[in-house]
Amino acid sequence: MTKTKKSRISPMWKRTVSHIFTKPATTKYPFVKPQLPDDFRGQPVFDIKLCVSCGLCSRDCPAKAIEMVEVEGKRRPQFKLDQCIFCYQCAESCPRNAIKSSVFYELATTDKSSLVIKPQTSVKKGA
């Protein structure tokens, strides 16, 4: 205990002191955004022009976050981001690559309804 403490000082003391003189490991997040890999799985982006209304994305979604809704007479996927688990199975299932990944991840909101992405709007602005 106290005796052993003195007889064999921990290797921690050097390391801790050295950190006073080095820069902290903290990123400056809200002020400096982190660099994300290109294929980061952020908010899925849906391109309505490529969609063939097959509904495969909705069928394969494990979280049932994609609902096919009627838009201008055609069935289009509607993303519920509050349920989405960002697995990108929909992007993989899509035969026409209409669903793509984005690096947008700051999706926090105080209004839950803003998390439902209607097919018309492809990119949501930050809440």
Q: Does 1 bind another protein (CB under 8 A)?
A: yes
Say if residues 21 and 34 touch (Cβ distance below 8 Å): no
Q: Does 74 bind another protein (CB under 8 A)?
A: no
Taking CB under 8 A as the criterion, the residue among 99, 115, 119, 124 binding another protein is: 115
Q: Which of 98, 117, 101 is nearest to 53 (CA)?
A: 98
Of 51 and 61, nearer to another protein (C-beta) is 61
How near is the Cβ of 33 to another protein at its closest, in Å? 8
Of 65 and 98, nearer to another protein (C-beta) is 65
Tokens 């660099």, residue located = 35
- Token pair of 100, please? 């793509």
d(Cα 21, Cα 30) in Å, to the nearest integer? Answer: 24
Say if residues 90 and 44 touch (Cβ distance below 8 Å): yes
Beta pairing class for 66-71 and 99-100:
unpaired
Of 12 and 72, nearer to another protein (C-beta) is 12
Name the residues that contact another protein, by CB under 8 A: 1-5, 8, 10-13, 15-17, 19-20, 22, 24-27, 29-30, 33-34, 36-37, 39-41, 60-65, 80-89, 92, 101, 105-112, 115, 127
